[in-house]
Amino acid sequence: MSQAPTTIPSGLLSAVADGVRIVELGQPHFTNMPCSPNHPGFRMTLIRRHGDMMRPDGGSAANEIIVTGGHVGTHVDALSHVSHNGKLHGGVDAAEAQAGGSFRELGADATPAMLCRGVLLDVAGAHGVDVLPAGYGVTAVDLEAAAERAGVEVRAGDVALIRTGWARNFHDAASYLSVTDGVPGPTPDAAEWLAARGVRATGADTTAYEQIPAGAGHRVLPVHRILLVDAGIYIIEHLALEDAAAQGLTEFVFVLAPLRIVGGTGSPVRPFAAVQA
């Protein structure tokens, strides 16, 4: 026998809404925004403008066309995104899973929505700087120091967000991608540290959740292998963490909802922190 849906009293909804403040953790999407060289970029234009078509009552409508890859702007990597020696997470054969042009297993449609504890590990802040140096490798020691500074313990089921300060460069694509000088990001031992604690997902404020040394580009991505393939931990990239850090957030309710893109390898997302008002 099916159960009747639970009705939430309007007074309770008001109390919850009045007591919660939303802090955005994602970047806006706009044409020519910074994008990894491995992915197609984001484009948006109005395909119909007000006045192109007028209804008999004087009404008009505008709409747009959007072209984008699944890994552009703030997004979450599905477990189908990376393979190692032909295998996806759990030993799934990558070639078989992707036959037909979309993933039958571990696709973006299987990436869960997340409503859980989030922790902000402000590595730049722990170093006493606004932005980590280009190409800096964030280590397990750095994560320990950031957690201690924040007074938080990273636990199983958490979403751990790493602030490098690099999001300050987001509106300057050349500086943000920093092909010549590199980009700061987690090292393999930082990934192992997070995996050992059983986090559900982890993210950072850079284009690739990796240390990108000067001149190396995205030639190898060992952290993606450790998290996505070995541990089954979702990766969130292109986060906007400056406001959260400025407001002193350390732990909060983390909310994220991927698009259910059937067979895809990633999805744009709009993550946010819900904190007490």
Does some domain include residue 37? no
Mean pLDDT of the chain: 93
Whether 35 maps to a domain, the answer reads no
Q: How far is CA 271 from CA 40, 60, 114, 171, 193, in A?
A: 22, 33, 9, 19, 23
Q: What is the pLDDT of residues 200-249, one digit of tens each?
A: 999 999 999 999 988 766 677 999 999 999 999 999 999 999 999 999 99
Please indicate, yes or no, if residue 15 is contained in any of the structural domains.
no
pLDDT average, residue stretch 81-103: 97
Do residues 254 and 6 touch, judged by C-beta distance below 8 A?
A: no
Q: Which helix (H) or strand (E) holds 256?
A: strand 251-256
Other Cβ atoms closer than 10 A to 199: 23
Distance set, CA 155 to CA 33, 80, 158, 196, 198 (Å): 34, 25, 6, 10, 7
Q: Which CATH number belongs to the domain containing residue 111 in this structure?
A: 3.50.30.50
Flag whether 56 is in a domain.
no
Look up residue 218 and give its two tokens.
Answer: 């995205």
Q: What is the pTM of this model?
A: 0.91
Judge whether 135 lies within some domain.
yes
Which structural domain, as residue segments, surrounds residue 113?
Answer: 20-26+71-276
The answer to the question of residue 239 being in a domain is yes
Residue 97 has pLDDT above 60, yes or no: yes
% of residues, the chain, pLDDT over 70 = 93
User: How many domains is the chain built from?
Assistant: 1
